[in-house]
Structures are given as C-alpha cells and as structure tokens.
Structure 1
C-alpha cells in the first residue's frame, strides 16, 4: 500500500519518493531514463510533481514493441527519443553473435548509453528480481564512473505501482491489458519463453531470423579462417537453439565466446 500505518506512524510512499527526488536534485537537473513501462511512467510523474529540473530520454532499440513506441509518442511527446548508431539486426550481423541471458551486450549498446556525467533517475525496484534487490537507492554506474543512478521508488511493490496509476489515472501502454507483465525488447533473451512475442510480432521475429543468417555467415568465415568447426550445422539450427532451447536443456553455445568488440 502506498500509505502504510506502522508502529512509528503513517508512511506515505508517494511523499517519501517526492522528498527523495527533491533532496538529490543536481544543479543541472536529472537525466530521466524513460522506458515507457509502468515503473518508468510512475517515476516520471513523480519527478514532475516534485517540481525539479529534468530532461527525459528514451533510447529506441529497434526491437521495441510498436505499441510501446506509439504510446510514448502519444502520451509523452516531451521525452527525447534517441536512435542507435546501429540497429539490433546490424549488430547481430556485424558481431556474428546473438545476445544471451548472461551476456546481454545489446543492453549496453542500445539502452544504457545515455546520461554520461549525469545523475540518472530510473524506475528500478527491489521487488523486480533477486539481482535488483541488491541495488542501492543511489549508486555509481559500474561501466561509466561519470554517471550515477538514482532509484526513488526502489522500495515500491508491484501493487504500489498499479495503485498509483489508478489513483491518479496515469496513462499506460495497452500491452499491459493484453497480459504482458513487463515491457521490453521483443524476444529479449531474459525471457524464458519467446513464443508469445514471436506470434505477437511476426515481422520482428522474421527480422531476427534474417539477422541470424547474416551473423552466421560472418561467424562461419571467422571459424573457417581459424580452422575451427561450427557447433551448429546451419543458421536455422543456431536460431532455433537461441529462440527455443537455450534454457530448456541447459546447453550453451561455445561459438558465442569470441565476438565482442
């Protein structure tokens, strides 16, 4: 609940979050890392209510759900949208590699590249995962010492988020009403089952397959030049393993250990 009655009195999570945002406001203002998801929408709304200086940014990944991009354009025109230097398809083809759960090079290249030298506000919450439960409310970026992260709703729950959205009638992406609990890149390797994504966005699914073929050709040339043998017999085998079996049998692809630039 957003308002909790404790032994020490009433705890208003909304006011606490707003106070935090005001307390840590930097002279140049916040860099709001906006994703269009429910947590991000709530965070941006709290920043607005806090009356602090800020600029909001959304990094297009080229594998964003179209409905999410349309929602951001319609409801948040003030958010600056950034196109990547390379699309996901170009990255897969150039690297000869597909992103994996424990090695998501795509995030660093496509999503986490903004906010250099700034205090970056996000909607990260402890409840989301065991890994995020170890995060601090204010922390240094481990890949860029000039950047710090600030998570003002880190102690909010899933129910807190939806209580806030409903209480203030905050617009949110329609994909949540279709049963999607979290929004992110289509066919993200963090998902255990991408079949729903493949069915929901068939054009993006086919684009992944085409990029995999191009990446396969690059990888095979590199392997052939070294006299090494490919683990998979074809790009189709590689794609099917990546899309459907990367977690199912606990297999790992030894070919995917060399292609990082």
Structure 2
C-alpha cells in the first residue's frame, strides 16, 4: 500500500502533466466546497498557479455554510470561480423526488453547459475510489463527451485527505465539525450516524444508483 507521501508525489506529477498538456483556459477544477476538492484545489494551485478556473455547481439547495466557505476561499485564493446553475425550466417540480432526474437536471446539465460555454477540455475532480463501490471502478483519466475528466485523488482515502488538510493547515467547511463527513445538497445530506461510513449521511437511493449517475456525466 502506498504511503500518503507517495500518493502526494504521484498526484503532483499527474497535475503537472495536465498543466503541461493544456492551456490555462482549457482546464477547470470541479470545486464543491468539500474537503476533497478543496485539498485538490490547494495542490492544483501549487502545481499550476496560472490555471485558476474552478467550476462550482450551485443547485439552489446547497448548505449556506458551504456557499459562504466557497465564496470566502475564492477571494482568499484568487480563484476564477464560475458558478453553474440549473435553468429554471429544467428544475423538477419536487426536489429529490426522482434522484436520477433531479441530479441530471440540477447538476449534470449545468456542468455540461458550463464546460461547453467555457471551452474546457480537461476537468479535475476530487473523486475518491473508496467513497462508493461504483467509484472503485473509475480511472484517473476518463474520456467523457467533449472533455477529459481527471480524478487525481482517486487512490486517496478519507484519512489521507484529512491528514493532508491538517498537515497543511488548510481551511475546511464548518459543517465537518458538526458531524457531517460528506457534503451534498440539503435534502439528500445528513450528519453521519455512529457506525456509518463516510457517505452514510447521503441519500441511500442515490448512492445505490451511482453507476447510472456516472453514466450521465455525474462525477
């Protein structure tokens, strides 16, 4: 098993290769405001400071604490932040009633629209393989429709991310101190209960259908 230092060096090597292969305007980091994508943003700033575009998907159902953290860090870290929102006509009449339809309209469609409008050719995500059984099948480099998705933290664990965050003194959203271990939309996110896994507070139906969401373009 690789040490965190070995994973860190591999991730930085991958990030530098992405930087060298793409112009600044062609790359973007999918930044949720969560611990994983914030750790990745810190590494991306180190490896490619001129590549400062980040895309945040704001479904209109996000925790206000996450949005406040996102806006504060965007200012402090000089992030070129593009906020992607669903079109009013795309929003379902009842949020989260149909998990797949809701995520497709509220997350996937705004992301695809943003990538097309911005001309992004490479998208970086903070996805980790140990979050969900479906994500264990993902690869560091994935060809998507119109762009390439890179998952530089794929082999990192939850503890790796927290160890890196603490060691670097990185900021993180206050919700983690209130029992949340994974942050999503308000209707589909609760604090993780005792004995539950990292995503134990996330909607169980959505977690079980992650393969369908991934096929649609959900990261």
Report the TM-score when normalising by structure 1. 0.62
Contact persistence 1:2–1:14 (CA under 8 A): no
Contact 2:58–2:84, Cα closer than 8 Å, also in 1:
yes
Deviation string for 1:103-124 (max 9, x for gaps)? 4323323455432341000001
In the aligned structure 2, how far is the partner of 1:111 from the partner of 1:154?
Answer: 20
Does the 8 Å contact 1:2/1:160 carry over to 2? no
- Aligned pair 1:39/2:40, yes or no? no
The residue that corresponds to 2:108 in the other structure is 108
What RMSD over aligned residues (CA atoms) do the two structures have, in Å?
A: 2.7
Unpaired runs of 5+ residues, structure 2, are 192-203, 206-219
2:66 matches 1:68: yes
Tell me whether 1:129 sits opposite 2:123 in the alignment. no
Q: Give unmatched runs, 5+ long, in structure 1.
A: 5-10, 197-245, 248-261
Tell me the secondary structure at the aligned position of residue 24 of structure 1. Answer: helix
Distance 2:95 2:154 in 1: 33
Contact 1:61 1:111 in 2 (8 A): no
More helix by share: 2
Q: TM-score, normalised by structure 2?
A: 0.73
Q: Aligned equivalents of 1:100 and 1:154: distance in 2?
A: 28
2:22 to 27, 30, 38: 27
Tell me what 1:217 maps to: none
Contact persistence 2:62–2:186 (CA under 8 A): yes
Over 3 Å counting, the alpha-carbon distance change for 1:64 and 1:110 in structure 2 is: farther
Alignment length (residue pairs): 181
- Is residue 2:10 matched to residue 1:16? yes
Aligned mates of 1:114, 1:80 — CA distance in 2: 12
